[in-house]
């Protein structure tokens, strides 16, 4: 990831703490990839019928994380209300997916890794929410 490197080339001010912002973007991007992978791994498990909700939540979260990472990567014409609302939705998605994957973490290593990624991502989102409040 070149997130910080790109951020440092932005030609105008960025109103948010750059380290926290770059860290959150990186986590969102990594977590989106983990959720896409976890949905696909769940789909190949013999016990797929017990993993339907997990697959669905992973798909939702991959979409929400990807959209949020893009929004946070844009600094031009910053809209605090929009960013705040999307970050709140994202933090909720992290919690939902963390909870769901955690239930299968004992049986499936992909759910364990994904739950851990979502927990770390939730913390970053909440720190960023506090910073931009």
Residues lying near a second copy in the complex (CB under 8 A): 1-3, 5-7, 9-12, 25, 29-30, 33-34, 36-38, 40-41, 43-46, 48-49, 52-57, 59-60, 62-64, 66-67, 69-71, 73-77, 79, 81-82, 85-86, 88-89, 92-93, 95-96, 100, 108-110, 113-114, 117
**Residue among 127, 99, 108, 109 nearest 27 (CA):** 127
Helices 109-132 and 18-44: crossing angle in degrees, nearest 10, is: 150
The least distance separating a second copy from the CB of residue 41, rounded to whole angstroms, comes to: 5
The least distance separating a second copy from the CB of residue 102, rounded to whole angstroms, comes to: 14
The smaller minimum CB distance to a second copy, of residues 99 and 131, is found at 99
Q: Compute the half-sphere exposure of residue 94: CA atoms within 13 Å on the CB side of its CA.
A: 26
Say how many C-beta atoms besides its own lie within 10 A of residue 131's C-beta. Answer: 12
């Amino acid at each position: 990831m070149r997130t910080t490197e790109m951020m440092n080339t932005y030609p105008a001010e960025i109103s948010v703490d750059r380290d926290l912002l770059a860290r959150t973007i990186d986590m969102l991007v990594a977590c989106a990839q983990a959720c896409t992978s976890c949905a696909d791994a769940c789909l190949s498990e013999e016990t797929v019928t017990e993993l339907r909700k997990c697959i669905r939540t992973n798909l939702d979260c991959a979409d929400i994380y990807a959209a949020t990472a893009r929004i946070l990567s844009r600094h031009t014409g910053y809209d605090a209300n929009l960013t705040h609302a999307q970050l709140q939705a994202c933090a909720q998605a992290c919690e939902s997916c963390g909870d769901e994957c955690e239930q299968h973490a004992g049986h499936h290593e992909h759910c364990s890794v994904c739950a851990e990624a979502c927990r770390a991502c939730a913390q970053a989102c909440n720190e960023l929410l506090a910073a931009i409040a």
